[in-house]
Amino acid sequence: MGLWKPDPSFYPSAKMAMQAPPERHAYVAALNYGRNDQPDGICVVDLDPDSASYGTVLTTLELPNVGDELHHFGWNACSSALCPFAPHPHLERRYLVVPGIRSSRLYIVDTKPDPTKPHIAKIIEPEEVIEKSGYSRPHTVHCGPDAIYVSAMGSTDEDGPGGIFMLDHFSFEVKGPWEIDRGDQELAYDFWWHLAEDVLVSSEWAKPHQFENGLVPEDLLANKYGHRLHFWDLRKRKRVQTIDLGAQHQMVLELRPAHDPRKTYGFAGVVISTADLSASIWLWQRSDKDGQWTMDKVITIPAVPAEESALPPALKPFGAVPPLVSDIDLSLDDRFLYVSCWGTGELHQYDVSDPLNPKLAGKVAIGGIVNKAPHPKSDGPLLGGPQMVEISRDGKRVYFTNSLYSTWDDQFYPEKMGGWMVKVNVQPDGGMALDPGFFVDFGDTRVHQIRLEGGDSSTDSFCYPS
Amino acid sequence: MGQDVIVSIVPWLAMLGFGAFHGLNPGMGWLFALSLGLQQQRERVIWLSLLPIAAGHALAIALAAMLVLFGTKVISLPALQWLTAGLLLAFGLYKLFNYYRHPRWVGMKVGLGDLFLWSFLMATAHGAGLMVLPALIGVAGGDVGHAGHGEHASHLGASGVNMLLAVILHTGAMLLVMGGTAWIVYRKFGLAILRRHWINFDLIWAIALLIAAAVAAMMAL
């Protein structure tokens, strides 16, 4: 821990964080579940354009167990350590908290002393995670001002609710479930917060049996996946409001609140509408009048008609490719929202300066169920599509990977999809293009969440206005 | 006589100095007040928030003062000094190895009552009152020395007034330094200063507790 200066990667405001130096490497979740007997791992990818090994995997930390199925992961500490009511600025952004969504195991990965050679500092075995937290299938990790928060898809038993539990900042001990009063919230997925408002927002995906062995078409057509958003009192750990987007809006996944704590709005992505296969982005905002939250659909991305012969069995009855928005990410200046259309193989960039009226500012096409669009550096057509997106802190570079989730990859891309990661260069006022020189081929191994050195646009929370 | 004056003035200066030290610590309130003003875009909020923070801190110090008053009544001065030294040593050592731990309470949306309780909790949990015990005993001890024979009631009354003065002095110094620091950061330096110059107050705090333990032990000898 630093004595005289806080960790240099902590910034009081999002605006200051945009001045951060460019990232030199990324940590990428590498997955082998279900296809070979290899364990999952964390790959370190060189992002430094001046390096001889730019755009290649420097090292891979291989996990000691097979079948963890990594998904999302996060830092032990971030800019929220500067929040004034519980400051601990001399904590280090040093450990990656890496959950196995299938095994319920938690790895604490140390990125020091050599950030390109991470090693395991601690393993919390599934029994301990489940017993102490009351939850299973841990997923999203956020560094809070007072603890590390982890969402979990499942409960200790098959039918119990998913939710959020807390880890101690310093010892990584599982402290227990976060919620005191969850109301009728059952399904879990992503969560984030408006720290200055003491509000936590959570979204709904599904119960473990609805995703572990693949998407269940009957459940989807019966609108049994999540379609609600929950607003919580962060202090009282109590659910205060729930908004139902309508049962046809199936799978509300990623949540991106504005980074500037003065702004009380954010974006949520919906994977698919069972009415017309479209995907949508919703804006939540707080009403000035009564303090209640409201939601509006601000972006609709329609399905694209396709020949039945070009579609995987799961989609043949529909004669169209759904966009399947699986991830969204908001730049630190709250100006550009990036939207992954994993089905159609497109990354969209929207100018959301006026959050109620987003404008499409740029598009990149790669992969896709029908198009399989190649990269200038790839060997022919590509399977998978834009999926986990990460934006550099300065907003000039965007990176993404192509894998959604083992069993779902196999349903939508049944032709033995491998893993790849690409980079996009962003114009200052919108517009973007694939970097023709950056294409990381992971071979059979699939890749999911990306974390950038020193932080990125979906890890840090700020307590001071921009 | 000269030495007497110095001896009796030192505890007062210590109360003043500790007040400034506590006020400078960003974890004791000025940063919280500043952030609330920035969030609400009203400078007045900064200055208004400092008042309940100072009051909460004062309550924690006043409790320490009452403990000293009670202590001087039930045990001898050296015994009280040794007890204080022992407490400070134990707590200082604990903080030295756990300096980064904070009580987790409240959030960012706070009223004046929340700020008062938050400040009281922070001061108490970090041992702000404990840290000033030797100085408070010094303030009380000066009276005990002069009280001579008999007149217990009036001497207790006098040290009660002195204790109150010491708490007010400490809180005043704290408030002044909190306000000054918040003002300078707000007007001159901006929040970027946090990145470069936020020294590890929690560790320094633990060391200050240990120094206070040494002082208490020296007073007892």
pLDDT at B147: 42
Q: What is the 3-state secondary structure (H, E, C) of chain A?
A: CCCCCCCCCCCCCHHHHCCCCCCCEEEEEEECCCCCCCCCEEEEEECCCCCCCCCCEEEEEECCCCCCCECCCEECCCHHHHCCCCCCCCCCCCEEEEEECCCCCEEEEECCCCCCCCEEEEEECHHHHHHHHCEEEEEEEEECCCCEEEEEEEECCCCCCCEEEEECCCCCCEEEECCCECCCCCCCCCEEEEHHHCEEEEECCCCHHHCCCCCCHHHHHCCCCCCEEEEEECCCCEEEEEEECCCCEEEEEEEEECCCCCCCEEEEEEEEECCCCCEEEEEEEECCCCCCEEEEEEEEECCEECCHHHCCCCCHHHCEECCCEEEEEECCCCCEEEEEECCCCEEEEEECCCCCCCEEEEEEECECCCCCECCCCCCCCCCCCCCCEEECCCCCEEEEECCCCHHHHHHHCCCCCCCEEEEEEECCCCCEEEEEEEEEECCCCEEEEEEECCCCCCCCCCCCCC
Question: What tokens were used for A466?
Answer: 């921009």
Contact B35 A464 (CB under 8 A): yes
Query: What pTM value is reported for the model?
Result: 0.95
CA distance A355 to chain B (A): 20
Q: Chain B partners of A90 at a C-beta cutoff of 8 Å?
A: 100, 200, 202-203
User: Which residues of B, range 12-31, sit inside 8 Å of A by Cβ?
Assistant: 26-27, 31
Q: Examine the pLDDT at B34 and tell me if it is beyond 90.
A: yes
Query: What is the rounded average pLDDT of the residues A266-275?
Result: 98
Q: Say whether B129 sits in a helix, a strand or coil.
A: helix
Identify whether the C-beta of residue A172 lies closer than 8 Å to the C-beta of residue A183: no
Cα(A371)–Cα(A383) distance, rounded to whole angstroms? 9
- Whole-number pLDDT of residue B152: 53
Structure confidence at residue B8 as a pLDDT band (50, 70, 90): confident
Question: pLDDT tier at B156 (50, 70, 90 boundaries)?
Answer: low
- At residue A5, the pLDDT reads 87
* Nearest residue, CB atoms, B104 vs list A13, A86, A90: A86
In this predicted model, what pLDDT tens digit does every residue of A302-334 receive, in sequence order? 999 999 999 999 899 999 999 999 999 999 999
Q: Is the confidence at residue A34, as pLDDT, over 50? A: yes
For residue A280, the model assigns a pLDDT of 98
Sign of CA pseudo-dihedral A392, A395, A399, A402: positive
Q: Is the pLDDT of residue A67 over 80?
A: yes
Q: What is the ipTM for the molecules in this complex?
A: 0.92
Report d(CA A256, CA A268) in Å as an integer.
6
B159 band by pLDDT with thresholds 50, 70 and 90: confident
Distance, in Å, from the CA atom of A16 to the CA atom of A1, rounded to the nearest integer, reads: 22
Residue entry with tokens 């919108």: A430
For the ranges A3-17, A436-450, B186-200, the one whose mean pLDDT is highest: A436-450
Residue of B188, B84, B32, B14 whose CA lies nearest to A87: B32
% of chain A beyond a pLDDT of 90: 94
What value does the mean pLDDT of chain A take? Answer: 96
3 state DSSP class of B101: coil
The domain spans of chain A are: 14-452
Note whether B194 contacts A5, CB cutoff 8 Å. no
Closest to A366 in 3D by CA, of A392, A341, A391: A341
| A450: its two tokens | 């990306």
**Domain boundaries defined on chain B:** 2-220
The string of pLDDT tens digits covering residues B68-123 is: 999 999 999 999 999 999 999 999 999 999 888 877 778 899 999 999 999 999 99
Kindly tell me the sign of the dihedral angle through the C-alpha atoms of A219, A220, A226, A228: negative
Q: Higher confidence at residue B145 or residue A304?
A: A304
| A11, A85, A172: best to mutate for the B interface, most B CBs within 10 A | A85
Q: What is the pLDDT of residues A70-85, one digit of tens each?
A: 999 999 999 999 999 9
Task: For helices B43-74 and B133-147, give the axis angle rounded to 10 degrees.
Answer: 50
**pLDDT tens sequence across A413-435:** 999 899 999 999 999 999 999 99
Q: Which regions of chain B does DSSP assign to beta strands (E)?
A: none
Residue B105's pLDDT is 76
Average of per-residue pLDDT values in chain B: 90
> Mean of the pLDDT values across residues A288-295?
93
Provide, as residue numbers in chain A, all residues whose Cβ is less than 8 Å from the Cβ of B192: 12, 16
Closest CA to B6 of B169, B147, B138, B157: B138
Q: How far is B63 from chain A (nearest CA, A)?
A: 23
Cis? peptide before A21, omega within 30° of 0: no
- A-chain CB neighbours of B34 within 8 Å are 84
* Placement of tokens 């004669």 in the chain: A319
Residue A261 to residue B101, Cβ atoms within 8 A? no
Residues of A with CB under 8 A from a CB of B: 1-6, 8, 10-13, 16, 82-91, 146-147, 170, 195-198, 234-235, 261-262, 463-465
Q: Give the whole-angstrom CA distance, residue A425 versus residue A457.
A: 15
Identify residue A283 by its one-letter amino acid code: L
pLDDT at position A14 is: 98
As beta bridge partners, residue A152 has A138, A163
Q: Assign B204 to helix, strand or coil.
A: helix
Contact yes or no for B100 and A262 at CB 8 A:
no
> Is residue A103 over pLDDT 90?
yes
Least confident of A243-252, A311-320, B170-179: A311-320
State the sign of the Cα–Cα–Cα–Cα dihedral A393, A396, A401, A402. Answer: positive
- Buried-exposed string A165-203: b where 16+ CB fall within 10 A, e elsewhere: bbbebeebebbebbbeebeebbbbbbbbbbbbbbbbbbb
Contact B61, B123 (CB under 8 A): yes
Confidence at residue A168, expressed as pLDDT on a 0 to 100 scale: 94
Q: How far apart are CA A440 and CA A118, in angstroms?
A: 19
What mean pLDDT comes out for the span A49-66? 97
CA distance A263 to chain B (A): 10
Element (H, E) at B178: helix B152-184
Label residues A402-413 b or e (16+ Cβ within 10 Å = b). Answer: bbbbbbbbbbbb
- Per-residue pLDDT band for B142 (boundaries 50, 70, 90) equals low
Which tokens belong to B144? Answer: 């005990």
Summarised one tens digit per residue, pLDDT across range A124-179 is 999 999 999 999 999 999 999 999 999 999 999 878 999 999 999 899 999 999 99
pLDDT digits (tens, 9 = 90+) for A435-446: 999 999 999 999
pLDDT at residue A271, as a whole number: 98
Q: Does B195 touch chain A (CB under 8 A)?
A: yes
Tokens of A24: 């030199």
From the list A148, A282, A126, the residue with the least C-alpha distance to A204 is A282
Residue B2, pLDDT score: 62
Phi, psi of B83 (to 5 degrees): -60, -45
Give the pairing of strands A95-99 and A106-110: antiparallel
Class of domain A14-452: mainly beta
